[in-house]
Amino acid sequence: MKVKNISIAALMLCGSTLAAQAQELHFIMCGGEVRPADQVVIDKFQADNPGLTVKMEAVPWGTCQDKSLTLAAAGTPPAVAYMGSRTLAQLANNGLIVPAQISPEMEALYQPGVLKTVSSGGQYWAYPHAFSTKALYINCDLVTAAGAECKAPVTWDDMKALAATIKEKTGQAGIGIAGKDFDNTMHMFLDFLYSNGGTVLNADTGEVTLDSQQTRETLQLYVDLLPYMEEGPTAWERDQMKDLFNDGKLGMYVNGPWGKGQHKPEINQLIVPVPHGPSGTHGTILITDSIVVFKQADPAVEAGAQKLAAALTSGEAQYDLDQSWGLTPILQYEKMGVEKPFYVDDPFWKVFVDGIATGGPEPLVTDFKSLQGVFTQMIQGVMLEEGTVDDLVTEAAQTLAEVK
């Protein structure tokens, strides 16, 4: 692989001289493991910076973000953390993190919309490091068993018709929709909302825009699909649906690019763009996890953390992570001298890359758990028939305005 050299100095807007004495960078890595591509960069960083050591702590997602927040609030923050970008507004609002030093040269290399996932108040608050878009996975074996042609449903009406056929002809769930109190319940809803031209917040003013025709149409889609979903949808989150899919009990569901490798190789699966609603075009939620630099009492530690974050998210290092992990490409690697990036001329990756331009970011709010709760309550409300579409959307928008 040939990659244009981009020096760390060029990646950062301002350089810093690291202190001569040994300094420790406490790095909390969400996910419970350190990816090999990241470890290569960390090892090289320590070799190139003998005055710095990196203390890695891999923590499962369930407790990781809360741990970083708790340490920072107690005045003993990690130097660096890899965590969901949804936490950034809360961290920045409380003065716990410092802006990322992303150069204009690097800005121009990110895929469209990626930097919006880490932007608030005119600042970038983290270095995007893992990126995902979504697509619709279809079990063609189940579709064929239902006597239908396995082809991409272009519109919501097409998708509803296919889900109904699968359910009525095979007795299996036509489509899987997440309804559990979990973040990907909100994410799946946003995949459909963004595919219907909807928004959650005004990108410039931060005003809540959820109370809209597009949101009502999206929630009505859930009502229409309810007879064809998996049984008890409020008990299911997206990642649990792969088992139903693998067992031939689910016709289709929305997932990221990693879904392909999670499914049994013998399943004839079709992967297509998220169908669009009456008010939009094919879209997807744009989600990033990012490397955050926490505010430090020691300037040398903070400078070292910025340097490490920049090294992990640039050039060959980021490409190796995206390719080895099976992530949607976060940078436009063809602009960096990569000869035939892994996603070019690949029909599978085309689905996930083409959705970037019309996708929307995970909303950045100061209380992301309350944001998740707003969507969960609205979605479960229609699934459990506890309110009308109109009332639930109105209530969700009003609650979001109070907690964001």
Domain boundaries, the chain: 8-132+287-360, 135-283+367-403
- Bridge pairing between strands 23-30 and 52-59: parallel
Does residue 377 surpass a pLDDT of 90? yes
Top pLDDT among 19 and 312 is at 312
Confidence band for 203, pLDDT divided at 50, 70 and 90: confident
pLDDT tens, 359-374?
A: 999 998 888 889 999 9
Does residue 20 surpass a pLDDT of 50? no
pLDDT tens, 150-185?
A: 999 999 999 999 999 999 999 999 999 999 999 999
Does residue 85 surpass a pLDDT of 90? yes
Does residue 291 surpass a pLDDT of 70? yes
Query: What local confidence, expressed as pLDDT, does residue 404 receive?
Result: 80
Does residue 11 surpass a pLDDT of 70? no
Query: What local confidence, expressed as pLDDT, does residue 373 receive?
Result: 96
* 21 touches 51 (CB < 8 A): yes
Does residue 106 surpass a pLDDT of 50? yes
Q: Which helix (H) or strand (E) holds 306?
A: helix 299-312
Q: Which CATH class is domain 8-132+287-360?
A: alpha beta
Does residue 4 surpass a pLDDT of 50? no
> For every residue of 137-149, which 3-state class applies, written as one string?
EEEHHHHHHCCCC
Does residue 30 surpass a pLDDT of 50? yes
pLDDT tens, 227-258?
A: 999 999 999 999 999 999 999 999 999 999 99
Report how far residue 306's alpha carbon sits from residue 120's, in angstroms, rounded to the nearest whole number.
Answer: 19
Cα–Cα distance list, 13 to 96, 122, 223, 271, 303 (Å)? 21, 16, 50, 41, 12
pLDDT tens, 299-342?
A: 999 999 999 999 999 989 999 999 999 899 999 999 999 999 99
Rg of the chain over CA atoms, in angstroms? 22
Report how far residue 67's alpha carbon sits from residue 69's, in angstroms, rounded to the nearest whole number.
Answer: 5
On the question of a common fold for 8-132+287-360 and 135-283+367-403, the answer reads yes
Query: What local confidence, expressed as pLDDT, does residue 21 receive?
Result: 54
* 259 touches 139 (CB < 8 A): no
Query: What local confidence, expressed as pLDDT, does residue 7 receive?
Result: 42
Does residue 389 surpass a pLDDT of 90? yes
Does residue 259 surpass a pLDDT of 80? yes
Mean of the pLDDT values across residues 56-62? 94
Both tokens of 341, joined, read: 């990036």
pLDDT tens, 129-141?
A: 999 999 999 999 9
Cα atoms in the 13 Å half-sphere on the side-chain side of 77 = 24
- Computed over every residue of the chain, the mean pLDDT equals 93
Q: Angle of helix 315-325 relative to helix 299-312, nearest 10 degrees? A: 60
Does residue 13 surpass a pLDDT of 90? no
Mean of the pLDDT values across residues 73-102? 95
Which has the closest alpha carbon to 26: 60, 87, 67? 67
DSSP letters of 3-31?
Answer: -----HHHHSSS--PPPSS-EEEEEEEET
Contacts of 129 (CB under 8 A, 6+ apart): 82, 288, 289, 290, 291, 312, 313, 318, 321, 330
Domain 135-283+367-403: CATH superfamily, name plus number: Periplasmic binding protein-like II (3.40.190.10)
Does residue 40 surpass a pLDDT of 90? yes
Query: What local confidence, expressed as pLDDT, does residue 9 receive?
Result: 40
* 212 touches 164 (CB < 8 A): no
- Give the predicted TM-score (pTM) of the model: 0.88
Q: Which helix (H) or strand (E) holds 69?
A: helix 61-73
pLDDT tens, 262-282?
A: 999 999 999 999 999 999 999
